């Protein structure tokens, strides 16, 4: 093909995809590998360091035999298992599923956002909302958190005038900040008057003691996103879900790709939900080490409700610190790519004990 042909074809691609896309933490991993570490401390992606529950593995293996069949398009076994898992909250919850919470977010945006529609995002935060909104032709207005990364409720509600949906992450990635339930409630009331939805991202909620589920009873403009990638250790299985209001349920289903989840991920997720002890053990481990990170470093460690902490390494630069740690076999995430956050923050996942010890030692050496 001539380069003219290629250029002509390339010009058909929508402008929104000319940008950078999602930032993966590969640079640090390459540095660690080049320094000779075959088994570095992997503290960049908030994964469960204890692996995957046996119950999930066994269920997934069994599901391989049904690989010739299309999955149940309603993922009914998973929806039922999730409803049962959450029965303790005492509120009837409508559960929808997706290919990771990322898949849920994409699908929600697809139901609401068209070209030029306004979306508000509480920043600094997880970058995928912005990418998914932009891909759909929507326009993001970032609303900055306060200096201490808490959410300024009046500013946030004020910015949502004319917006169709707003995204707020709690505990927030990458700052770890928990927004109190009362603040979310106030936001929901303010947004309801504007006909604006709130997508509350609860990817890390298992690691804190704040519970937002009861809000589903009273607020028709709330969607709560959840994932099995973090506490349940199923990042590679791509299982996300959400609680949605009654009226919204049929729209979500209509917009979803048929057969979004596959037989194996559905089975693995159902298996994982049956092993509460696995999750409990991991969550306790995270809470203990989160405190140890807070006490064991000479830098400012932000209070976090997640399986990671954010650390201000000023006056050093985050990219430099990440490179230095990688040379010592510790992979963490620089937050320099998070818009509005500045260039002195790193995000460190709570890993297995040996990884955490390796991090503390390396951090105090540099
Ligand atoms: C990890 C993460 C998700 C989505 O994870 P999936 O693996 O797609 O389920 C969503 N939101 C935040 C804030 C996350 O950190």
Q: Tell me the DSSP string of 231-294.
A: TT--GGG-EEEEEE-GGGHHHHHHHSPTT-S-HHHHHHHHHHHH-HHHHHHHHHHHHHHHHHHH
| 34/149 Cα distance (integer angstroms) | 36
Within the chain, which residue ranges are assigned CATH 3.40.640.10? Answer: 54-274
- Is the pLDDT at 24 greater than 70? The verdict is no
Q: Where are the alpha helices (DSSP H) in the chain?
A: 3-10, 27-34, 54-64, 76-85, 100-112, 128-135, 153-159, 181-193, 249-255, 263-274, 276-295, 318-327, 353-365
Is residue 1 pLDDT above 80, yes or no?
no
**Does any ligand 1 atom lie closer than 6 A to the CB of residue 99?**
no
Within a 13 Å sphere around the CA of 32, how many CA atoms are in the beta-carbon half? 22
Q: Which of 29-33, 184-188, 312-316 has the lowest mean pLDDT?
A: 29-33
CA of 132 to the centre of ligand 1 (A): 13
Residue that is written with structure tokens 């949502």 in the block: 160
Show the tokens assigned to 258: 């048929």
pLDDT confidence band for 25 (50 / 70 / 90): low
CA distance 236 to 158: 38
How many Cα atoms occupy the beta-carbon half-sphere of 264 within 13 Å? 11
Among residues 204, 244, 248, the alpha carbon closest in space to that of 227 is found at 204
Q: Is the pLDDT of residue 85 over 80?
A: yes
Residue 278 near residue 253, CB atoms below 8 Å? no
Domain span(s) for CATH 3.90.1150.10 in the chain: 23-49+277-365
List b or e across 49-59, with b for residues whose CB sees 16 or more CB atoms inside 10 angstroms. beebbebbeeb
| pTM of the shown model | 0.95
- Any ligand 1 atom below 6 A from CB of 44: no
Ligand 1 atom at shortest distance from the alpha carbon of 240: 9
- CATH entry 1.10.238.10 includes domain 23-49+277-365: no
Residue appearing with tokens 């999750």: 279
Ligand 1, atom nearest to 102 Cα = 8
Q: Which atom of ligand 1 is nearest to the CA of 172?
A: 13
Q: Is the CB of 173 under 6 A from ligand 1?
A: yes
* Residue 23 clears pLDDT 80, i.e. is over it: no
Closest residue to atom 2 of ligand 1, CA basis = 203
In this predicted structure, what is the pLDDT of residue 296? 83
Q: Which candidate, 335, 334, 330, places its Cα nearest to that of 352? A: 330
- Ligand 1: residue of 105, 227, 350 to mutate (most ligand atoms within 8 A of CB) is 227
The structural architecture, per CATH, of the domain 54-274 is 3-Layer(aba) Sandwich (3.40)
């Amino acid at each position: 093909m001539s380069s003219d042909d290629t250029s002509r074809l390339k010009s058909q691609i929508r402008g929104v995809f000319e940008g950078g896309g999602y930032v993966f933490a590969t640079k640090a991993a390459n540095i660690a590998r080049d320094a000779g570490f075959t088994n570095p401390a992997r503290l960049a992606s908030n994964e469960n360091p204890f692996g995957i529950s046996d119950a999930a593995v066994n269920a997934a293996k069994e599901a391989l035999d049904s690989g010739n069949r299309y999955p149940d398009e309603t993922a009914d076994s998973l929806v039922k298992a999730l409803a049962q898992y959450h029965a303790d909250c005492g509120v009837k919850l409508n559960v929808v599923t997706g290919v990771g919470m990322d898949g849920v977010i994409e699908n929600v945006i697809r139901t609401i956002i068209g070209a030029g529609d306004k979306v508000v995002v509480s920043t600094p935060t997880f970058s995928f909302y912005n990418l998914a909104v932009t891909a759909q032709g929507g326009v993001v207005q970032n609303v900055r958190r306060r200096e201490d990364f808490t959410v300024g409720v009046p500013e946030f509600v004020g910015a949502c005038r004319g917006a169709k949906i707003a995204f707020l992450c709690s505990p927030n990635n990458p700052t770890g900040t928990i927004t109190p339930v009362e603040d979310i409630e106030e936001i929901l009331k303010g947004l309801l008057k504007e006909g604006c939805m709130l997508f509350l991202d609860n990817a890390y909620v298992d690691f804190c003691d704040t519970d937002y589920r009861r809000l589903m009873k009273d607020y028709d403009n709330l969607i709560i996103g959840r994932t099995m990638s973090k506490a349940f250790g199923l990042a590679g299985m791509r299982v996300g879900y959400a609680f949605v209001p009654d009226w919204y349920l049929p729209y979500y289903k209509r917009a979803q790709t048929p057969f979004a989840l596959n037989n194996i991920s559905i089975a693995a997720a159902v298996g994982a939900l049956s092993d509460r002890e696995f999750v409990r053990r991991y969550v306790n481990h995270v809470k203990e080490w989160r405190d140890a990170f807070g006490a064991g470093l000479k830098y400012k460690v932000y209070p976090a409700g997640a399986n990671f902490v954010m650390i201000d390494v000023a006056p050093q630069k985050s990219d430099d610190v990440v490179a230095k740690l990688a040379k010592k076999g510790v992979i963490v995430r620089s937050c320099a790519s998070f818009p509005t956050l500045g260039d002195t923050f790193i995000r460190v996942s709570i890993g297995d004990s040996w990884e955490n010890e390796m991090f503390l030692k390396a951090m105090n050496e540099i």
